[in-house]
Structure formats: structure tokens, C-alpha cells
Amino acid sequence: MSQTSCIDAFRRFLEGVVGRLSFEEMERRFSRALEENPVFTEIERRGALGKNIIIVLGGRGCGKTLTIRYIKYRLERDGWDFKYISGAQLVEQAKAGAQGSRVFQQLIEEQESKLGRDSGYRVVVAIDDVAEAVEIAREFLQKEVELARKYEGRLKLVLAAQSERAKAERVMTVELLKVVLSQAPFAEMFFGEEPKRVLLDSFRNSYISGTPVITFRGATMINLDAYWSSLRSLNRVKDLAEAMVKLAKFYAENAGACCEEVVKRVEGHKHGLALLALSSIPKIVRDPEARAVIEYRGAEPSLSGLGIVALNGLGIAELLNRFFADPKVASLADEAEKVYQSLKSLQATVDADTVKEVLLKACGAVGYMTPLRDLPVSSIVPQQAPSGASKPVTGRRKYGPRVDLVEVRVAASEGREERRYVIFHSLKVDKKGYVTSGSAKKLAELINCGVPSEAEMRYLAVLIPAAEHAKALYRALGLLQAGRKGRDVLPLFIDKLSSIERGFVHAVEIGILGDDRKISQELQEVLYRIVVGTLTLSLRDDAGQPHLAYLMLPYVS
């Protein structure tokens, strides 16, 4: 069984790379076919390496160090000297007290003297895991920014930081962006006017818009998570599948002799594997100002032994490893492959109610959310006795209208639990295409009796069939409350879902595929997780904000 041993070698390689790798280790392991990596192609295409400051952000395992490795490989070719500094190293040096600051001083002096001596000398200073050192090396970092300005075109500063890195309730990466970099001298030369706003907005919006490389005046931000987020969509399963095949090839080539068998098997199940990868759940950076979505392996329990962790390099490496190791995962991938094939041909129309139903079902399956159906409003918002009511209210209406809602419990700061309530209301459309007066009235009633309340973390998600029906929402809000749209009254447009997404919603709802095949329990769970982690990102308002995802995704823990 020569094939098996070749697969074993591949797996051993994967097991070796999923742990934390030092830069040198990374350099040793990944030496071949660097251009083949899809992430780097993207960076290349956008010309990110031409800027003076390159910020590389991303959750754990999205390939930051590998990106630095790539930057080294690319720029060394053009005659750049390369200096690698790790954040942990800086921390250690700073701990040494007075000597520490001398080390920083020395680093700066060394660079300056070389740059000053030789006008042809060009250097890349790459600081990895810089978030670690934000607190102690702030001045050093700002000095580096100053140097990048002074020796423009000859000193490139590469800063890589783990997006989720937090210390004592402060997200250090956000700190890096909003304090260290935006308050550095000449910050506007690099990031444009208002560096703080620009940097934070770019960080937040890059994920939801799926643009991994953002260029500023003299700097660039590579948000590796955003690269992956652009693949986190049911519409792009094909691309994700191709990317996974490419990654498998890339790993296989670096594992030693390229194992054809690995590539062939991955190729055969690529769509299924892509669906499994989509069932991971992204996380939200716990910073009220940044509130960025990232790909990150959290501590949430993995269901059905699948243990999908994150949609990024690390997660895919782990998935590929399991695919070859665990027959259960292999059969799941097999089934998922078939589901994808039938989804492609499935033509389904879904209405707002179906989407609501699927969301409710899916929320119950992920553990930290509880769907509550047909609940009288009075049980979440105690009703006030209407002043001057002409006749006593009786029967069902006594408790107010009934609603479906989801309770979201996520761990917030200081060990506290945050409870949010997402109340769903779907606007119904009659045969002529008008919003029915019943559902419009109910919407107004829900708003008037205080169901949505931002302060108390109750949000009203209004599922709207199409953009032209949004006026019913404006009518219900009225002029004086129009400002609540997008805050606690969240419109979500169903017509923004593509046909494959509609087919998916339909399949999840009935639990049966087009050819009357029942979806297995395990796969059903995978599909539910795709609803929470992926479909919620496609349900957006007219400004392109995925409000539901912001509310339903857990914090980085």
C-alpha cells in the first residue's frame, strides 16, 4: 500500500503544521510553490507589497506568519534585506528593564545607520505578533513608523497581529490600530486623514465586504480573514472547493513527494469538503468600537465529532487531516458532495416565513441560542395598561401579539453573560405583490409596544421579501423613529439571497433533497451550522450590513 504511506506522509505534514510554528520552522516547511497559494495571489493582484507599511491581520491560523514568509520570499528576490522581529521577543527584551529600552534603541540605530550609510540599501522590518508588544513597545513602534516615513521606499514596515489578541478586556490589535498607528507621527501620510476612523472602519468592513487587501495612501492592510470571508458564501462553494484543492496541492508539495492520491481524493469531494468548511462559525472581536468579524477557532462544542474549527488555512489543514483520518468525516463529505450537486439544480422560491423557520431551527442546533416560538409579547415586554382604553382587552390579545424569537447567550467581558433577543417578524406579500396590511400592522404594533430596544438588547429583525417592500417598514417606524432602522429595528432582505441560497434554505427546511433523499442527522447539523455561520452573513440590509450575523455570532473566547 504505497498510496497509504503517501497519505500518511501528507497527514504527518498536516499534523506538523497545525500547531504553532516559529518563523524559521515555517520557512523550512514551506519552501516550494509559494505562488500557488491562493491568498498570496490575491495579495499580488492588488499590489499590496508596494506600500511602505504593510499591516497583516487575521485570526489564529489564517496564515500571518506564512504571509510574512511570502513577503520575505518575494522582496528578497528584488534585493531587499529582511529583518524579522517577533513580538514575544520584544516583550522579553522589554522585561529586562532599562536594558530593554536600549535594545529598542539599538534596533532603531542599527537600521538607521545602515540606511544612512548606503543609499542603495533597502530593508523590510517585519514584526510578527506585534499585538503582544503594543503596550510596552509603543514608542518603538511609532519610531519605526517615523523611520518608514523618513526612508520612504527603502524601509518597509510589516506588522502582523492576531486580530483577536486581547489582554485584560482590551483587544490589543484594535489598540494597535486606533492608538499606536493612528497617533504615530505622519500617520496621515500613510493612512490618510482621520487615520483612526479609517483603520477601524477598514478592519471592520473588510470582512463583511470580503476585500482582504485595502490600500491607503502609503500603507496597506491585509486582513487575511477577509480573504476567507469572501469564500464564506454558498454562492462561492465552487471557488472555495478550488481553493481547498489548491491548498491540498500546496501542502502535498511541501510534504515531500507530491502525493497524487491525496489530490485526487480531495478533488473528488471538494464541494462536500467546502460545505463542511462553511459549517464553521466565525467570531466577533470583543471591542465595541471595532466589532469586526473574524475567522477563529473558538471554544464552542463541536457537533457530530466533526470538529470543524475555522474557515482558514489552519481549519482547512485540520479538515483535510480529519478527512483522511476519520471515515465518519469522509462519509459526511461524501454526503455533502451529493447535497451540493442536488442544490445546484434545485430551483426553489422561498418566502420570508421559510427563512424565519430555518433560522429558528438552526439557532436551536448550535448550543448557545434558544429559539422560542409563538411567545406572547407580554412575556418579554410587560404590557402597559393602555391609558384611557375604551374597552377591556380580553382573550389572546390580552397578552399582546405573538412572536418568534431567539435568545442569544454569549460570554461577554468579566465573566458576564450577555443575553440578546432577536425577535423575528416577516412581512407577508399578497398575490398582487403588496405587503399585507395584517403583517404591516403587526410590525407597527411591535415597535409601538417597545419590543425592539437597543438598551435592553432586544432587536427586531424584519424579514422583507424585496427592496420595494421596505416602505412598509418606514411607515411603521414613522419619521420620528426612522433613526432606529439599523440599530434595533433591522431590515433583512430576502431577495438578496441567490438561487443556490434559496435552494439551500428550502432543503434545510424540509430536510429532504430534490430527489426525495432524506438528509442524515449529522449532515442536518452541519447544514444548521452553515445557516448560522454563513447564511446570516448573506442576509443583509439595504446598506449591506449583516445585522443578524453581528447579533448571532459569538465573541472570540
Partner 1 sequence: MSSGGGAKRRRLVEYVATDPFVDLAFVQQLLSNEDWLQVMRRQAEVYNSTGDVGESTVTFRMYRSQSKQHVIKALQGAYHAIDRYLSDELVNEKASRAWRALVTLLASLQLMEKAGAGLGELLPEGYGRLEELKAVIDRMIEEKTSREEVRAATVVMRVLRGLSDEQFLSTVPKLWWLNLVMESEVFEAVFKYHFLASKKELVGGFVKSAEEALSEVKGHTPDLSYMEHEVLKALLSRCVELRGQYINKLQNAIVFVKIGRRSVGSYDWDWFLRDEILTYFMPMYMAELQELLGLREKELNISALLSPRGGPYGGPASALSTLILMSPIFMQYALEARGEVVITPADIVVSVLRISRARGGAGDFVASAEEVAKEVASFWEERDLLRRLKLYSQGEVTPETLYRKSSFTASLALIINAGIGGIHITTERRPELQLPPRMLGFDSLYVRAQQLSSIARRVWGWEEG
Site of interaction with partner 1 (CB under 8 A) = 182-183, 194-196, 381-382, 384, 450, 453-457, 479-484, 487
Q: How far apart are CA 361 and CA 497, in angstroms?
A: 18
Sign of torsion over alpha carbons 180, 184, 189, 193: positive
**Residue (of 245, 208, 200, 244) closest to 229 by Cα position:** 208
Q: How far apart are CA 411 and CA 549, in angstroms?
A: 16
Q: What is the 3-state secondary structure of 314-334?
A: HHHHHHHHHHHHCHHHHHHHH
User: Which C-beta is closer to partner 1: that of 338 or that of 484?
Assistant: 484
User: Which C-beta is closer to partner 1: that of 256 or that of 382?
Assistant: 382
User: Which C-beta is closer to partner 1: that of 235 or that of 448?
Assistant: 448
**Residue (of 446, 419, 545) closest to 487 by Cα position:** 545
Strand ranges across the sheet with 402-411? 369-376, 402-411, 417-426, 458-464, 489-493
User: Which C-beta is closer to partner 1: that of 58 or that of 195?
Assistant: 195
Query: At its nearest, how many Å lie between partner 1 and the CB of residue 454?
Result: 5
Q: How many helices (H) and strands (E) does the chain have?
A: 23, 15
Q: How far apart are CA 476 and CA 122, in angstroms?
A: 62
Query: At its nearest, how many Å lie between partner 1 and the CB of residue 57?
Result: 22
User: Which C-beta is closer to partner 1: that of 187 or that of 508?
Assistant: 187
Query: At its nearest, how many Å lie between partner 1 and the CB of residue 527?
Result: 34
Query: At its nearest, how many Å lie between partner 1 and the CB of residue 142?
Result: 15
User: Which C-beta is closer to partner 1: that of 417 or that of 515?
Assistant: 417
Query: At its nearest, how many Å lie between partner 1 and the CB of residue 459?
Result: 12
Query: At its nearest, how many Å lie between partner 1 and the CB of residue 199?
Result: 12
Query: At its nearest, how many Å lie between partner 1 and the CB of residue 200?
Result: 13
Alpha helices in 346-404 (DSSP H): 352-365
The residue to which cell 463583511 is assigned: 208
User: Which C-beta is closer to partner 1: that of 455 or that of 543?
Assistant: 455
DSSP string, 100-135: HHHHHHHHHHHHHHHHHH-TT--EEEEEETGGGGTT
